Amino acid sequence: MNANSRQCMDAEYNIGSRPCGTFIVQLVAVVSLFAFVSPDSRAQIIVNSASTTVTVEGYGNLTTGASLRSDSTQGAAPDAVIFDGAARVLARLTPPKGPNIGLRAVTEASNNYLRVSEASLLLFGAGGRLEIGKRMGLPDVLTGYAPNSFTFTTAEFGPPTGRTLDPGGGLQTQFLRASLRSRIEPLAARGVTASLFNDESAKILYVLPKHEGWLGGVSFAPDAEDVRFDRLMQIGLVHETYWHQNVWRWGGSYAHARAKPVNGSAGFRDLDSISLGTSVSLNDALDIGIAASHDGHGGSPLLVPNQNTTSAWGATASINYNRGPWTVGGYYQLSHGSTDAGAAIGERLSAFEVGASYRFTTRLRLYGAWFLYDLASDRRSEGPLINRGSAVTLGLRATL
């Protein structure tokens, strides 16, 4: 999902309102104008030669929002406007014999950074796709901006990439105070897919060719982004059944992460995370999905006995309806886990979101949502500590 004489050139830089921030505002304006006046077509620029294809894609999401009510007033106040944008290039060489060779790079920008988020070398053909480099672990599509292949609950009325309005997407929580956001976001990532699915460390990945509705993938990273773990293995398997204008999908994902040694010994428990889900799309209009995940005590400190740690799990359900340029929908989420360093105090998140979007063209879309949350702590000695509140978002998405 940089600096001024390094200006916008380093891998990561806090740009704030400096010249790179001005560049982002200008970029959003240009992309929005292009999206509005351009005829409907695929959001891609494709350059072909005899044996080479270069695909260039880009998007920008500009979102504003506010917290309507919150029991928390601690932490830094959120930005009034959030920007997410990215440009992606895929260069594909098709030799006379053997697999195709590709180079893929993604650059992302937001309010406070500009970075290369993915860079990888690809080999692909009839035998599937092998990819080596810095990228997400569970495979997504190579071109186009579609939801991850191994998720089943979404908010289709929101942007599909960058910070999204999906469960765990991170956009709906950006307009909450920092202290509250840091407690909600780890819980909001549960019940969607296996943990660490969005890990962007260096890894090797293989995606099987789709066969009779089956799609599978596996990846391995020697050092995960999460500081608690080093080796990370991820597996996903999905099956699709088609009839008339309907699609039924089911499957799941699994992640195993080895705890990183601390002073010669493991400081945390290994992570074993599993997720299962299913979704159905009826008449290309109505989409219903459910999913659940379970991490157990994975990732908790070894010094804390199991009976004093909290089990991590989550479940989500979503419904979306498309009619003409309109998409409406919502989701409900219930999850439990620990957000404190000692992993001894559990918290429960109950969250509900509804929203809608309107497509002016295939390149320009207006979206909005209302997010309601209830965050309760397991701390019994003081009675349950509860934070309740809601936030609204309104944004514009433009694609090249």
- What is the mean pLDDT of the segment spanning 79-108? 92
* 246-259/229-243 β-pairing: antiparallel
Q: Which domains does the chain have, with CATH numbers?
A: 19-399 (2.40.160.10)
- What is the mean pLDDT of the segment spanning 370-391? 78
Q: Considering just the CA atoms, what is the radius of gyration of the chain in Å? A: 21
Q: What average pLDDT does the chain have?
A: 84
Q: Tell me: the pLDDT tens digits for 216-267? A: 999 999 999 998 899 999 999 999 999 999 999 999 999 999 998 777 666 8
pLDDT (0 to 100) of residue 138: 78
Q: pTM value?
A: 0.83
Q: Tell me: the pLDDT tens digits for 53-85? A: 999 999 999 999 999 876 666 667 888 999 999
Q: Which of 236, 134, 223, 158 is nearest to 195 (CA)?
A: 236
Q: Tell me: the pLDDT tens digits for 28-46? A: 444 444 444 444 445 577 7
Instruction: Identify the DSSP state of 298.
Output: T
Contact criterion met (CB below 8 Å) for 200 and 225: yes
Q: Tell me: the pLDDT tens digits for 387-400? A: 889 999 999 999 98
Between 146 and 121, residue with greater pLDDT: 121
Q: Place 380 in a pLDDT band, splitting at 50, 70 and 90.
A: low
Lowest mean pLDDT among 69-78, 132-141, 323-332, 359-368: 69-78
What length is written for the chain? 400
